[in-house]
Amino acid sequence: MNKRPHRTAPQEMVTRGVFLSGNEILLVQLKGERWYFLPGGGIKKEETGAQALRREMREELGVRATSVRAIGAVENRFAERYEVNLLYAGRLPKGAGTSQENHLVFSWHPIASLQKVRLFPKPLTGAILKWHRDHYPFVLTINHGTYS
């Protein structure tokens, strides 16, 4: 019997931060793009998700993230890739938002108008708004999500 080899999509574990200041949320975009994502990045083998988020904020913003706590997870399959996003809420110093990396642009957006922003993955918007209102953790599974 001739079996086809099993192919798996490239997999990545990432950490994402939900940072609020007053009634605003910090979002990031790649320079020149019109869509946004949450700050964060890849988790190294020796790190927890919270440690990775703190490291990413030092690298990307030059600031120390504090009060980092888990709030949810997003399993996302898109464009032949599979990623698991561990989401954390945390605090940043007042005035944080100046990128230390040339390809990233950080900006604060009113949480009340988050649905008007092109935040990816798309279902994350509703989950963040529900978490902000109810303070319950969440888990999302998104199949065939796209960044278009």
Please report where in the chains the tokens 């990623």 appear, as a residue.
Answer: 83
31 vs 57: CA distance, rounded Å: 18
What is the tens place of the pLDDT at every residue in 5-26? 555 667 889 999 999 999 999 9
What is the tens place of the pLDDT at every residue in 122-138? 889 999 999 999 999 99
pLDDT at position 121 is: 86
119 vs 131: CA distance, rounded Å: 16
All structural domains of the chain with their residue ranges: 11-142
Closest CA to 31 of 85, 95, 101, 131: 101
- Identify the CATH number of the domain defined by range 11-142: 3.90.79.10
Residue 59 has pLDDT above 70, yes or no: yes
80 vs 66: CA distance, rounded Å: 34
Helix (H, G, I), strand (E, B) or coil at 87: strand
Q: What is the pTM of this model?
A: 0.88
- Which amino acid is it at 90? G
84 vs 110: CA distance, rounded Å: 26
